[in-house]
Amino acid sequence: MPAVPPPATVFVTGVSGFSGAWIARALLENGYAVRGTVRSEEKAAYVADLFKIHGDRFESVIVPDIAKHDAFDSILNDSISAVVHVAGVANLSATDALDIMGPNTDSVLSLLESTLRHGKNVKRFVYMSSAQAMLGHEDLFHVYTEDDWAEKDLALVNEKGSAAGGQALYRASKVLAERAVINFVEEHKKEIGWDATRIVPAWIFGPVIHDWKAFDDLNLSSKIMYQHLTTPRDGDQVNIYASDYVDVRDVADAFVAALKVEAAGNERFILDAGAYTFQNLYDAVHATAPDLQGLVLGNPSPPPFSFPGAFCDSSKAKRVLQLKQFRTLGECAADTLKSIQGRL
């Protein structure tokens, strides 16, 4: 399918969330118009102020429950040229499958069906998945590619349902959502004028611009990074693996590229800037922002162990989407901490 250049109108779910706000911002700054979903009047007021500089090129619509089968019917119309689905739940401790499958899997089916019925001029559907949809290989140092899927977790959920545990439920929900996108496009290829792209990021960190009032209101990944940076650990724990990461601003740029690059259609792209230990993280932030307060020092005297690279291979995304160099760990983490500290 052809690319979708600006000034096209893009329908974006979850623009009041951590990643959604940055993706909407990147689209607007690249000349697109954005119609975005929020869950409440309060969220609508916040994003209206956040994006007021863009005037009538931004509008929000309230969708309280994205999992309803007709949730998007009244707001998708012929003015929409692309659909970007970001909204969902990131929760690794859920105890009920319905709490995850509704917002993460049913919402995808709902949006796909609404796009079929009402998105007559849509040319591309872009879905935000998660690296959690790939993980679970027996080799701890396996480098994941776009061919990997979290098959073990999916099988576990199929066998045990909610008893499979939060991590398996979340991974399975993202596998099922991605495969729903693939299957829907294949099943309806003679009826639709659009293709689908799936973006698969590692843990997303970076500065917070969405609405939150207390620490508990923050998105999961921002809480994790804040705790990584501010919670002391025993000396023998600082050189263990902490996470892979990608900056939210680089994720937003990738979503813009997924619309602009024709070859992105019907492809899957991993976004991963690298792996780090806790000490790698401390050292990177101290080097980037030496005056930043509240940051753990760790144990910098022995040479810190560092990984040879990311555990997820982003070479395809960089090549096809023509992405610039990802932001460094130090910049990403320092900007995360500054943005949170400034509002606590």
pLDDT single digits (tens) 259-281: 999 999 999 999 999 999 999 99
- Domains (range + CATH), the chain: 9-206+244-272+309-326 (3.40.50.720)
Q: Average pLDDT over the chain, rounded to whole?
A: 94
- In the chain, alpha helices (H): 18-29, 41-50, 97-101, 107-118, 151-160, 166-187, 220-230, 248-260, 278-288, 315-320, 329-341
Q: Is the pLDDT of residue 302 over 90?
A: no
Which residues, in sequence order, are bridge partners of residue 61? 37
Query: How confident is the model at residue 303, as a pLDDT?
Result: 73
The confidence score (pLDDT) of residue 99 equals 87
Confidence at residue 306, expressed as pLDDT on a 0 to 100 scale: 78
Q: Are 200 and 129 in contact (CB under 8 A)?
A: yes
Average pLDDT over residues 136-149: 91
User: Is residue 92's pLDDT more than 90?
Assistant: no
pTM to 2 decimal places: 0.96
- Centroid of chain to Cα 307: 23
Question: Predicted confidence band at 138 (pLDDT cuts at 50, 70, 90)?
Answer: confident
pLDDT of residue 299: 87
Q: Give me the pLDDT at residue 305, please.
A: 79
